[in-house]
């Protein structure tokens, strides 16, 4: 559920932008007046059969289908989320996940670990902390994720792995766009990401340039996923936490929507890829007490990382 501050800021935006006001009306519908914290019709990923789950952040099913060249059998599933926080809440909240190691480029779990999500993983590897964060692109590069994931595979041979890449989510690596690579200067603002600027009708790069940058961010991560599919044993699933709206009409109010707002469960946002690939022998998965507590991080560091990624956390 949105916090009071987030609702107030969203409504302040809505006063200045008819599109954002209409988005808020759609959110009210999809969340049953904010009573739903995630999409209850989505798949419970923890209950699915896999040894390794590779999550590509904000990856649409049609994008994946059109541009991937990975081995395996591709189908689609319905996600519980239109936003990573919903994905975590809908799948991990207060669950015993002591048979699982979460390797993540996203700071969102850290932001609400104790007061909101409270999962019990065997271990959490926050790649976005310290040397895992790329200052040039304000993100975690996919090659960095591969290195940490393979280390985790060696260190935890009898655990399930969840490997959460940041791409194709912005910032757009290698692109010349600037708006998605800025830190939000105003603590009262939710984000300065490209998608919300497009919703507000602001002066942004041409739409075709932004869509091409989003596609290239996906094409950037695919070879690194392929590396993991070749190196990881067992059954691996490649999926996404949620999709991304690219100017399609939302509903029930048919406003053009961009990005992945919480609580708006359109097909473009909740239909995600589900690629299954098996290699070698499946591992014997064992639940054991946590090997370490989740790493500490200063609140301002987490907040800065989230803002650089365009999040309102």
DSSP string, 170-206: SS-TT----GGGPPP--TT-----HHHHHHTT---S-
pLDDT in tens, 263-274: 999 999 999 999
Q: Which two tokens stand for residue 237?
A: 């699933």
Q: What is the mean pLDDT of the chain?
A: 87
Residue that wins the pLDDT comparison between 31 and 45 = 45
Flag whether pLDDT at 78 surpasses 80.
yes
3-state secondary structure of 139: strand
- pLDDT at site 200: 78
Q: Which two tokens stand for residue 127?
A: 């790649």
- pLDDT at site 5: 58
Average the pLDDT over each of 18-27, 201-210, 246-255 and give the range with the smallest value. 201-210
- pLDDT at site 148: 97
pLDDT in tens, 169-210: 988 997 766 655 554 445 445 445 778 888 877 666 778 888
Q: Is the dihedral of CA 224, 238, 262, 296 positive or negative?
A: negative
Strand ranges inside the chain, DSSP E? 52-56, 73-78, 96-104, 120-126, 160-165, 234-239, 245-249, 256-259, 271-279
Flag whether pLDDT at 313 surpasses 50.
no
Q: Which two tokens stand for residue 47?
A: 């209950």
Percent above pLDDT 70 for the chain: 84
Contact call for residues 11 and 27 (beta carbons, < 8 A): no
Distances (CA, A) of 145 to 113, 149, 214: 21, 6, 19
- Catalogue all structural domains in the chain, each as residue range(s) with its CATH number: 4-308 (3.40.720)
Q: Which two tokens stand for residue 165?
A: 């890449």
Percent above pLDDT 90 for the chain: 60
Flag whether pLDDT at 109 surpasses 50.
yes
pLDDT in tens, 286-298: 999 988 666 566 6
> For the whole model, what pTM was predicted?
0.90
What confidence tier does 307 reach under pLDDT thresholds 50, 70, 90?
Answer: confident
- pLDDT at site 203: 60
The Cα–Cα gap between 29 and 32 comes to 5
- What is the average per-residue pLDDT within 228-242? 97
What confidence tier does 33 reach under pLDDT thresholds 50, 70, 90?
Answer: confident
- pLDDT at site 179: 59
Average the pLDDT over each of 65-74, 75-84, 131-140 and give the range with the smallest value. 131-140
């Amino acid at each position: 559920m949105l916090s009071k501050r987030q609702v107030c800021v969203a409504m302040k935006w809505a006063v200045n932008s008819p599109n954002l006001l209409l988005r808020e009306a759609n959110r009210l519908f999809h969340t049953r007046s904010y009573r739903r914290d995630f999409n209850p019709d989505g798949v419970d990923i923890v209950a699915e059969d896999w040894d390794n789950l590779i999550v590509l952040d904000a990856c649409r099913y049609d994008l994946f289908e059109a541009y991937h060249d990975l081995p395996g059998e591709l189908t689609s599933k319905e996600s519980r989320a239109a936003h990573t926080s919903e994905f975590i809440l809908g799948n991990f909240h207060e669950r015993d996940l002591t048979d699982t190691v979460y390797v993540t480029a996203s700071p969102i779990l850290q932001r609400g670990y104790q007061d909101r999500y409270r999962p019990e993983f065997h271990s959490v590897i926050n790649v976005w902390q310290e040397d895992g964060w790329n200052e040039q692109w304000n993100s975690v590069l996919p090659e960095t994720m591969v290195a940490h994931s393979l280390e985790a595979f060696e260190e935890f041979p009898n655990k399930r792995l969840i490997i959460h890449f940041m791409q194709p989510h912005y910032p757009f690596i290698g692109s010349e766009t600037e708006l998605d690579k800025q830190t939000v200067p105003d603590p009262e603002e939710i984000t300065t990401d490209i998608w919300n600027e497009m919703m507000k009708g602001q002066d942004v790069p041409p739409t075709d340039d932004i869509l091409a940058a989003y596609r290239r961010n996906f094409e950037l991560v695919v070879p690194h996923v392929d590396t993991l599919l070749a190196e990881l044993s067992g059954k691996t699933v490649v999926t996404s936490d949620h999709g991304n709206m690219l100017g399609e009409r939302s509903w029930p109010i048919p406003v053009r929507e961009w990005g992945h707002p919480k609580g708006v469960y359109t097909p473009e946002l909740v239909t995600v890829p589900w690629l299954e690939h098996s290699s070698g022998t499946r591992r014997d998965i064992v639940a054991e007490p946590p090997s370490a507590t989740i790493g500490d991080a200063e609140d301002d560091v987490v907040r800065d990382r989230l803002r650089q990624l365009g999040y309102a956390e």
